[in-house]
Amino acid sequence: MKNKVTIHDISRALKIDSSTVSRALNNSSRVTEKTKEKILKKAKELGYQRNLLASNLRKNKTNTIGVIVPRISRHFFSSLIAGIEETAYNTDYNIIICQSLELLERETNIVASLAANRVAGVLMSISMETKNYDHLIPLQNGNIPLVFFDRQCNISGHSTVLIDDYQAGFDATEHLIQQGCKSIAHLSGPQSLEIYKNRYKGYKAALEKHGLDVDPKLVISSELMEKDGAESIEQLLEKNKQLDGVFSANDIAAISAIKHLKKKGIEVPKDIAIVGFSNEPISELIEPSLSTIDQPGFEMGKMAANLLLKQINSAVPIENETIILKPNLIKRNSCKYQVSI
Amino acid sequence: MKNKVTIHDISRALKIDSSTVSRALNNSSRVTEKTKEKILKKAKELGYQRNLLASNLRKNKTNTIGVIVPRISRHFFSSLIAGIEETAYNTDYNIIICQSLELLERETNIVASLAANRVAGVLMSISMETKNYDHLIPLQNGNIPLVFFDRQCNISGHSTVLIDDYQAGFDATEHLIQQGCKSIAHLSGPQSLEIYKNRYKGYKAALEKHGLDVDPKLVISSELMEKDGAESIEQLLEKNKQLDGVFSANDIAAISAIKHLKKKGIEVPKDIAIVGFSNEPISELIEPSLSTIDQPGFEMGKMAANLLLKQINSAVPIENETIILKPNLIKRNSCKYQVSI
DNA sequence: CTGTTAGCGCATTCAC
DNA sequence: GTGAATGCGCTAACAG
């Protein structure tokens, strides 16, 4: 049986005008408690359910925010989404989740779809493929606020939440140095993305601080996918006589590299420490000696959502903010096959 | 600058009635190719963007499906969501993601909200707290199709996608037996949920098949949260002189139990094998000996979404289906601290 | 405080 | 094939 109960039904049943019913249902102060009660009672009796579509159309705003991530199933992003959902739930917003899969074409379609759905705002982490931002125009046209997270975007006019990648790179590398590593390699990502540039800068800075050379043979850039980790570590071993530590700019490549080493049973002169990002609860178990630098995904999600809500709820355009979160180095003991950040 | 371009604007500009514009934009066959072209051109020129809110209100249906999971950040669910998103994207649907956090109250609110938003359908995995299903009535009232996944629900009239939990429990237990374990404990979940009942049944069946006793002292039910794993393993060690293997009904508890054992440096007479669900890419690294039973989350998401779409797109109510996916036991060598399923 | 009026933007009847 | 009229369900403006 279809639910066709509208405010008019309860208006008719009570001989009260539908506008008053609407007001009562919205808990307006300009309705007597008595009539409010009567209306609410009748509404429940008839099984009334507000049609938010109509309400949103009339008000020309929705209670939905769009979220675009490269890949939902990566733990950093899923915990980030959890953070967004948490604050959205508390403020009566829904979230629409979309994944770009690092593809510009998908990102373009998604943006258009979100704009057509008149979302109240958009939170996004741009794809690796994205080099210019024409596809974001529909949001601009629709006057839809946009907040970036994790991956920085070179266009002005938008708030951003980032992790201090420089610091993360620095901390990770310094940690390896403190464990006695001298010859430390770096698996880096596409230099078109700020996050990888900054992690690399942190790596360099830590080496320099401790008087170690920055050897180009020790740095390999890739897309940091599954296959890249194994390939890169292989190359590194070939090219370098000595290799004490590896700082990986993400977890996927780090894990792949470790798997590769384990599979080949490679014993290198010194322990290898590999550092990438991961806040998997499970990661602790990999090695008792594991050190990690946690990316605060959940926190970041909450902050990004709050930033966006501020924009949504302010009548006038407000100043953009950039929030930089500190990564969290969790040190453990030795440094064999460490997976971290 | 606000995007206020409606079909009326392009109607006015072209001196063609808005209804024709609407038809053209919907690619109706009852519009000349010529006028269609003119209209599409003008639409692009003016930067027209269809207002899906209005369209949906008029058609009384949306292009959005709601997804309710206990917790987004658990890998099984996030990869499941990725599967749902994939098929949704390909069929021009959006997905609204909500997490119940295993709380009935939240689940209730979420259901009401989705109903109010007139989603086209709902995919859900009920929370552990959910014992009856009154809170699903809004969906029924709204005639909104509902498909369950992962966790079975004892009400009829809905399609379901499940993993063969009996088989998973059986496989995991038999694997432990084959590794030489005789005294195998089981960390089970709330017996109100079918999945845990069935995993337990599989456990029992495997023991019986191999002529081993089913000892009640070896079975502990809990909510399988972080704290439960450690507590349960502690209790098991206290109560049992011998303990060769443990089959854990989920990964959270299993990981917690392993951590606890490692922390206390407990050496038990024989190896302990702990089996829980996890398809983390990282899990392989925990122990070279790790065996896992993968839950096909992505696949399940796709299947569930397809089932729902079938319901949504059929004019008449269609027969319910139950799809049972096989778990995937990936055997590795020894059986020390195994985390799987 | 409550009722009246008038749309939000679109799609779907009907006519012609 | 196209136009004119109508209303999806709700809220906001204005009266009173």
Q: What is the pTM of this model?
A: 0.86
Q: Which residues of B touch A142 (CB under 8 A)?
A: 2-3, 49
- Per-residue pLDDT, averaged over A232-260, amounts to 83
Q: What's residue A339's pLDDT?
A: 43
E strands, A39-152, are: 64-69, 94-99, 121-124, 146-149
Task: For chain A, give the mean pLDDT.
Answer: 85
Which of chain D's bases lie under 7 Å from a protein CB? 1-5, 7-13
The owner of tokens 């729902």 is: B308
Highest mean pLDDT among A258-272, B134-148, B261-275: B134-148
Q: Which of A91-95, B64-68, B166-170 bottoms out in mean pLDDT, i.e. has the lowest?
A: B166-170
Listed by number, the residues of chain B in 108-167 with a beta carbon closer than 8 Å to a beta carbon of chain A are: 112-118, 138, 141-143
- Per-residue pLDDT, averaged over A25-47, amounts to 90
Predicted confidence band of residue A205 (pLDDT cuts 50, 70, 90) = very high
Out of B2, B49, B141, closest to residue A47 by CB: B141
Q: What's residue B249's pLDDT?
A: 87
Residue B117: closest CA among A20, A117, A142? A117
- Per-residue pLDDT, averaged over B299-306, amounts to 95
- Å between B299 CA and nearest CA of chain A: 13
Residue type, B171: D
Which of chain C's bases lie under 7 Å from a protein CB? 1-13
Q: Is A81 touching B (CB cutoff 8 A)? A: yes
Question: Which of A27 and B327 is assigned the larger pLDDT?
Answer: A27
Please write the tens of the pLDDT for every residue from A11-20.
999 999 999 9
Q: Is B331 touching A (CB cutoff 8 A)? A: no
CB of A55 within 7 Å of some strand D atom: yes
Q: What's residue A266's pLDDT?
A: 72
> Quick one: tokens of A266?
């490679």
Q: Which chain A residue has its CA at the smallest distance from B226's CA?
A: A281
Out of B51, B82, B283, closest to residue A282 by CB: B283
Predicted confidence band of residue A284 (pLDDT cuts 50, 70, 90) = very low
Contact between A285 and B339 using a beta-carbon 8 Å cutoff: yes
Does the structure show a pLDDT above 60 at B12?
yes
Q: Which chain A residue has its CA at the smallest distance from B112's CA?
A: A49
Does the structure show a pLDDT above 80 at A139?
yes
Q: Which residues of B touch A106 (CB under 8 A)?
A: 89
CB of A50 within 7 Å of some strand D atom: yes
Does the structure show a pLDDT above 70 at A107?
yes
Q: What's residue A337's pLDDT?
A: 46
Alpha carbon distance B37, B17 (integer Å): 15
Q: What's residue B270's pLDDT?
A: 56
- Å between A188 CA and nearest CA of chain B: 20
Does the structure show a pLDDT above 70 at A273?
no
Does the structure show a pLDDT above 50 at B170?
yes
Instruction: Kindly give the pairing relationship between strand B219-221 and strand A94-99.
Output: unpaired
Contact between A49 and B89 using a beta-carbon 8 Å cutoff: no
Q: What's residue B246's pLDDT?
A: 86
Listed by number, the residues of chain A in 192-251 with a beta carbon closer than 8 Å to a beta carbon of chain B are: 226, 251
Contact between A94 and B113 using a beta-carbon 8 Å cutoff: yes
- Considering all nucleic acid strands, name the nucleotide whose C1' atom is nearest to the C-alpha of residue B4: C9
